[in-house]
Amino acid sequence: MKLITVSTSLEIYDSIDELPEEVITLMNTAVEARIKAYAPYSKFQVGAAILLDNNEVIPGSNQENASYPSGLCAERTAIYYAGAKYPEAIIKRIAISATSLNHAVTAPIPPCGACRQAIAEYEIKQNEPIEIYFMGESGEVAKSNSLRDLLPFAFDKSNL
């Protein structure tokens, strides 16, 4: 038997105002996308914005369906669109913002497991880390330098 210890680190900013200007702009795009979310069932709205190496910004919002598994999270909406429209582009960073229509969300909301797996696929494909910034509707903002910080044991093509 052996013990494997996994550690991770995130940068925590007190508010969006502490972020670099280009990240504030990207996060504001995520907030705008969040407002456009279609979330009549969960009342939990998420917006994402992806910055590509060609300087294109791809927004996405969660899109629900009465058949819950048929919906799609904001992160995957954006990342799959980016992959379809710009298949050779490198994803530099992702900004994510979430809110609830039922209560205030002031803690950073990270990508769900399915979104982490989707982001992992692109990070592995491009062989370059993707910065991930995530927040609620206000309050602290967390920054991960790579998806590996959020999903250290990613399942990828090497497992197939």
Q: Which residues participate in catalysis according to the annotation? A: 75
Q: What is the DSSP letter of 70?
A: G
The Cα-based distances of 73 to 13, 48, 115, 158 in angstroms read 24, 9, 7, 26
**111-147 CB burial, b ≥16 within 10 A, e <16:** beeebbbbbbbbbeeeeebbbbbbbbeeebbbbbebb
DSSP 8-state secondary structure symbol assigned to residue 110: -
Alpha-helical (H) ranges within the chain are 21-35, 74-85, 113-126
d(CA 121, CA 135): 23
